Amino acid sequence: MSNQLTRRDFAIRTAGLGLALGLAPAATLAEAKQASHSETPLPVVDPYSLVDPELLPALKQFPASFDLSAETVRQFRQMPGTPALPAPAPQPVERHIPGPPGAPEVRLWIVDPAPSEKGKPLFLHMHGGGFMMTGPGWMPLLQSIATDCHCVVVSVDYRLAPETRYPGALEDNYAALKWVHAHAAEFGIDRSRIAVGGESAGGTHAASLAIHARDRNKEDVPICFQLLIYPALDDRTGSSHPAPPAVGHFMWTPSANRFAWSSLLGVPAGSSKVPVAAVPARVASVAGLPPAWIGVGSIDLFAEEDMEYARRLVHAGVATELLVVRGAFHGFDLLVPDAEVSKQFNASWKSALRKAFATSS
């Protein structure tokens, strides 16, 4: 199987990135407006007219569908995983480490492109999946990062919602961060060059992990960079904060966002019951966080919250790069990897990660 086919399959089947199950990726404007009682029915042009022309044919292959629910989550979890790319691509190795106090072990997937080398950077990855699912085909992504950025990649198989509510996944991710830092010599890792990141819900977890690590600085587990690929950063989007009329019609809708955040938090998304520390956008201060790269499509539901988070980081003196891709919806780069906007997007975040590693050494 070619890398491109694997990535396309990944996009079609992975929640939080492709989300063919449970969402309405080709929802009509009327359907999108009906998804949230909190949305204001403002006039907007045909949402398809806002999509990049190269992305449009693949997007239109998706019929209007049902929305994210407990049943679609159950169906998705039963889907078989896509295998890793064969050698000579570096092969993923499964490892189990001690979990947080009183919690189960945490499974890691480790991809090392050069096992004999010393002083390598490390990218601690958190997968997407709407907080509730594990992408069945994210292995090729890990392999491509390890190869293209010449770093060890460790991906955390954190506990999923709704069975595990906040802060369970955060505690798993922090346990993984401490473990890779403590075992750096075993893998030839330079402790000063540990970055965190992820896509969609994985970006949420990465942003939360960076905040958590900052707030527990007495343990001295430094993070040199955070890579946030169209992250969900604000539970209020699509609930107490109505979505702008031009965004959120494809791949990830306001109703899906409410369901996902509520499943993670255990309380209604957007409500006053949400713990502030659980949501990056609600945290009072972003000062002292690691440098960041944030990328999102202009018609992604998360566009506004991602831009706002980047603004806060800049105002707090955190070195930040923001890329907003015109005409791109959630997960566009994985659905249509050969599109020019997808190639530019992937080249940008990989370049940012390589630069972060180079300047942190």
Q: How do residues 146-159 score in pLDDT, each as one tens digit?
A: 999 999 999 999 99
The single residue of 112, 234, 235, 300 carrying the catalytic annotation is 300
Q: Is 215 a catalytic residue?
A: no
36, 200, 263, 342: which one is catalytic?
200
Residue 257 near residue 238, CB atoms below 8 Å: yes
**Whole-number average pLDDT of the chain:** 88
| Rounded Cα–Cα distance for residues 79 and 154 (Å) | 23
Catalytic residue among 52, 155, 330, 342: 330
- pLDDT tens digits, residue range 230-247? 999 999 999 999 999 999
Q: Cα–Cα–Cα angle for 95, 98, 99, nearest 5°?
A: 110
Q: Reply yes or no on whether 36 is catalytic.
A: no
CA atoms of 121 and 353, how far apart (whole Å): 10
Q: Assess whether 300 carries a catalytic annotation.
A: yes
pLDDT, position 43: 56
- pLDDT grade for 4, boundaries at 50, 70 and 90: very low
44 confidence band (pLDDT: 50, 70, 90)? low
Task: Measure the CA angle with vertex 293, ends 179 and 20; round to 5°.
Answer: 85
Give the number of C-alpha atoms closer than 13 A to the C-alpha of residue 255, restricted to the C-beta side: 18
Inter-axis angle of helices 201-215 and 168-182, nearest 10: 70
